[in-house]
Amino acid sequence: DAGITQSPRHKVTETGTPVTLRCHQTENHRYMYWYRQDPGHGLRLIHYSYGVKDTDKGEVSDGYSVSRSKTEDFLLTLESATSSQTSVYFCAISGTRDSASNYGYTFGSGTRLTVV
Amino acid sequence: AQTVTQSQPEMSVQEAETVTLSCTYDTSESDYYLFWYKQPPSRQMILVIRQEAYKQQNATENRFSVNFQKAAKSFSLKISDSQLGDAAMYFCAYRRDSGYALNFGKGTSLLVTP
């Protein structure tokens, strides 16, 4: 979607290797989120950020870490990829709490990660 | 954590007909927000409609409307005059008033037949 890009769009990696996914926004939004989507599970929150260097864990954070050194970038790292982390990963952004409530959240196009 | 339940993994509707997708949620909060998102095969997440819990009036966006029953903690989506382009995965989502992130249901896959 306009204003938010994820890279890469697809990635295949081997078990045990570290992987970093990038989310970049041009909306200057304060809040950024990483979700994973799996069949039968919907979207589940991994980590989120409420400002530069301010992050917190979500529902399924084990095996993942995040960093946000600039407002526009939110990185998701799989420290040692496992097959259970094969998934589609979505980044989302939102502005103030009021604007998020009024206008929803903007999602990236997703990254399909396959761990072999 | 709040739980969002979509009890219909798959639904089917004929073109031009009406279909209702169910969503229930569990919360102890009085103020919160509810959303329906559409995900077509392109994977893009598209906001369909939203509802503030403090508003009794059901939200409507063109052919999409909701039936919000706060006491029953139910938030169903009605799609009228279904079109082939409505075929997608639909997700119900919840956000508490003081929170940040969305909490999603598992989704309902909607098939639209000619």
Distance separating alpha carbons of residues A35 and B18, to the nearest angstrom: 31
Measure in Å the smallest separation between the Cα of A79 and chain B Cα atoms: 23
pLDDT digits (tens, 9 = 90+) for B56-76: 899 999 999 999 999 999 999
How far, rounded to the nearest angstrom, does the alpha carbon of residue B24 sit from its chain's CA centroid? 10
Rounded to the nearest integer, the mean pLDDT of chain A is 92
Rounded to the nearest integer, the mean pLDDT of chain B is 94
What are the DSSP calls for B24-42, one per residue? EEE-S-SSEEEEEEEE-TT
B57: CB partners within 8 A, 6+ apart: none
Cβ–Cβ contact B102 with A under 8 A: yes
Does residue A99 surpass a pLDDT of 70?
no
Chain pair A-B, CB pairs under 8 angstroms: 55
Q: Would you state the pLDDT for residue B16? A: 97
Q: Which of residues 32-61 of B touch A (CB under 8 A)?
A: 33, 35, 37, 43-45, 47, 50, 52
Across residues A78-97, what is the average pLDDT? 92
- If pLDDT is split at 50, 70 and 90, which confidence band does B93 have? very high
Does residue A101 surpass a pLDDT of 70?
no
Which residue of chain A is at minimal alpha-carbon distance from B35? A104
What are the DSSP calls for A61-110, one per residue? -TTEEEEEEETTEEEEEESS--GGG-EEEEEEEE-SHHHHHHH--EE---
Does residue B13 surpass a pLDDT of 90?
yes
Alpha carbon distances (Å) from A42 to A69, A79, B14: 29, 23, 25
Does residue A1 surpass a pLDDT of 50?
no
Q: Would you state the pLDDT for residue B103? A: 93
Cβ–Cβ contact B107 with A under 8 A: yes
Q: Would you state the pLDDT for residue B101? A: 85
pLDDT digits (tens, 9 = 90+) for B74-91: 999 999 999 999 999 999
Asked whether the beta carbons of residue B52 and residue A101 sit closer than 8 angstroms, the reply is yes
Quote the percentage of chain B above a pLDDT of 90. 81
The A-side interface with B (CB below 8 A) comprises 1, 31, 33, 35, 40-45, 48, 50, 58-59, 88, 90, 92, 94, 97, 100-105, 107, 109-110
Asked whether the beta carbons of residue A105 and residue B1 sit closer than 8 angstroms, the reply is no
Q: Would you state the pLDDT for residue B5? A: 96
Across residues A16-20, what is the average pLDDT? 97
Q: Which residues of B touch A107 (CB under 8 A)?
A: 44-45
Asked whether the beta carbons of residue B102 and residue A109 sit closer than 8 angstroms, the reply is no
